[in-house]
Homo-oligomer: A and B are copies of this chain.
């Protein structure tokens, strides 16, 4: 163990790395993530969908025409798991899978009008909370928030995130 406990007498540790500080961050992540997903979850329930559907809709919207394999890597799930979700979305007419032009083995995924509508609804619900949190915390806090989150990602996912971040 690098550091066995907090250092109560020091008041404020200059390195911000006491176990106490880290624990607060860990708990904040846990509780905040619940809030983060709460609003979309309520909407999804009305449609009989789950978080997996939300994620698929989000990233198809982000990258129109993305392939199944691409989506698989972004989401970090198996093709069987994703396929189950996609089948539902395609059956309900929210997503279309078009045979690839250059490589006809690939399927390019797109949102239909209905798919875009639900995606917008989910995204806006999530943005409302995010916006409120950003507004409450202020611009400087937001910058720090993003810095820490980015540093917390696995390396390979950070690449995906960055590629996505700046215009596909």
Q: A31-B157, A158-B31 are in contact. Are A24 and B151 (CB under 8 A)?
A: no
0/1 string, A84-112, CB within 8 A of B gives 1:
00000000000000000000000000000
Contact in complex: B151, A137 (CB < 8 Å): yes
23 of the cross-chain contacts (CB-CB < 8 Å) are: A14-B139, A16-B142, A17-B135, A19-B123, A21-B134, A22-B131, A23-B127, A25-B145, A26-B127, A28-B145, A28-B150, A32-B148, A32-B149, A35-B152, A35-B157, A137-B147, A137-B151, A138-B144, A141-B143, A142-B144, A144-B144, A145-B145, A145-B149
Q: Is A114 an interface residue (CB 8 A)?
A: no
Name the residue of chain B whose CB is nearest to the CB of A19: B127
Give the one of A126, A151, A161 with max B CB within 10 A.
A151
What separation, in Å, do the CA atoms of A140 and B142 have in the docked complex?
11
Given A16-B142, A28-B161, 14 more pairs with CB closer than 8 A: A1-B120, A17-B134, A21-B134, A21-B142, A22-B127, A22-B134, A23-B127, A24-B165, A31-B160, A32-B153, A34-B76, A35-B157, A145-B145, A145-B148
Number of interface residues of A (CB under 8 A): 63
Binary CB contact string for chain A from 108 to 129 against chain B (1 if under 8 A, 0 otherwise): 0000000000001001101101
Residue of B nearest to A61 (CB): B23
Do A33 and B27 touch (CB < 8 A)? Answer: no
Given the interface pairs A152-B36, A154-B38, the reply to whether A130 lies near B22 with Cβ below 8 Å is yes
State whether A148 touches B164 (Cβ < 8 A).
no
Q: Which of A1-49 contact B (CB under 8 A)?
A: 1-2, 14-17, 19, 21-36, 38
